[in-house]
Chains A and B, each alone.
Chain A
Amino acid sequence: MTAPRLETERLILRAITQADFPAFAAMSADPVVRRYSGDGTPRSAEESWSSFLVIAGHWQMTGYGSWAIDEKASGSFVGEVGFMDRKRDRGPDLAGVPEMGWGLIPQAFGKGYATEAVTAALAWGRGHFGAVRVIALTTADNTASIRVAKKCGFAEFQRGLSVGRPRVFFDRIL
């Protein structure tokens, strides 16, 4: 299966297609976007392509995953949002707990788009998973993302390392 289409006031959430790859790769190579994600470094085209294929495969293998976000006004790709199970070794408490993630291109910052997209994804998630726990991680200095997490009902429950960097762990029940 692929991502179902979701619509908000200003955004469309939809399945990625191969045509999104240039915009996705540009986002993943942007140091401003990457500062707070993964190991903090911009991704090469090869690494981005690998992540892109994972997004496509995640829906097929698990029935959930990530959406491409389009801005309705311009019709262009502005970011991604979704649920992932990375099977990352985070200890028994977090095994199998879906992790939410979101990211926007810099031109889409500061408009409330992340909150709008995360809210729509959470509503879909409630229908899909039921009232289960989900987590979200970011670095402690990513104030914009922390604000989004809190506005969307997430609360901090621990601090720890992920991919070698200190993170704030948030969770909520869907």
Chain B
Amino acid sequence: MDIPVLETERLILRGHRREDFPDYLAMWADPDVTRFIGGKPFTEEESWARFMRAIGHWALLGFGFWSVHEKDGGARVGEAGFLDVRRDIVPSMHDVPEMGWAFAKSAQGKGYATEAVRAAITWGESHFGKTRFACIIAPENAPSLNVAAKMGFREAARTTYKGEPTVMLYREP
């Protein structure tokens, strides 16, 4: 399928391309990025699987993650979007579109996550209709909790995922 391209004031959100992989790999090998997501830097094998999953997700489900780039110069700064990874988690996230985002360390503190997530939400509201969105965030991940709060997400539950404590948040339509 053709992955939609979204444009914000400073960013372009588009589907991942093979040539994005070196930047993708570098971002997910950074312990500052994985500290709150996954817990430890990803190996090349892990990143490659995740990268292919991101594109397969669009192909099978018609929604997914965008690769986020600065308009000025095109540098990859992170990723954001919707996912259904059939998490083994309670409460169940089944049938609730889940959002996620992650940004390279060099891109943090510029409001990029908020800008990208806002664009993704606008797309999601038209794609999924009037429905609740969910996300899960590590309780100590203050920057992401802040982005979620700004986007209207509110804490719904404290639970665990893969043995780690996590906060589940909902955004009502």
Contacts and interface: CB of A to CB of B under 8 A. Distances in A.
Interface of A: 2, 16-18, 44-46, 49-50, 52-58, 60-62, 85-89
B39 interface: no
Given A49-B86, A53-B57, A89-B44, 18 more contacts: A2-B59, A16-B60, A46-B85, A46-B88, A52-B60, A53-B60, A56-B57, A56-B60, A57-B52, A57-B53, A57-B57, A57-B59, A58-B52, A60-B55, A61-B51, A87-B44, A89-B43, A89-B45
A96 to B, nearest CB: 12
A58 B53 CA distance: 8
A31 to B, nearest CB: 19
A116 to B, nearest CB: 26
Interface in B60-98: 60-61, 85-88
User: What are the 6 A-B residue pairs with the smallest beta carbon separation, nearest first?
Assistant: A57-B56, A56-B56, A57-B52, A53-B56, A57-B55, A53-B53
B120 interface: no
A4 to B, nearest CB: 15
Interface string B10-44: 00000000100000000000000000000000011
Contacts of A18: 60-61
A33 B52 CA distance: 24
Contacts of B61: 18
B85 A57 contact: no
B123 interface: no
Contacts of B59: 2, 56-57, 60
Contacts of B5: none
- Of B44, B49, B57, most A-chain CB atoms within 10 Å: B49
Contacts of A89: 43-45
A161 B30 CA distance: 28
Contacts, number: 64
Interface centre among B52, B57, B87 (most CB of A within 10 A): B52
Interface string B127-171: 000000000000000000000000000000000000000000000
A87 B60 CA distance: 23
Nearest to B84: A49
B102 interface: no
A86 B87 contact: no
Contacts of A85: 48
Contacts of B55: 56-57, 60-61
A132 to B, nearest CB: 19
30 contacts: A16-B60, A17-B60, A18-B61, A44-B88, A46-B86, A46-B87, A46-B88, A50-B53, A50-B85, A52-B56, A52-B60, A53-B52, A53-B56, A53-B57, A53-B60, A54-B49, A56-B55, A56-B57, A57-B51, A57-B55, A58-B52, A60-B55, A61-B18, A61-B51, A61-B52, A86-B45, A86-B48, A87-B45, A88-B45, A89-B44
B99 interface: no
B41 to A, nearest CB: 14
A61 B51 CA distance: 9
Nearest to A50: B53
A165 B57 CA distance: 30
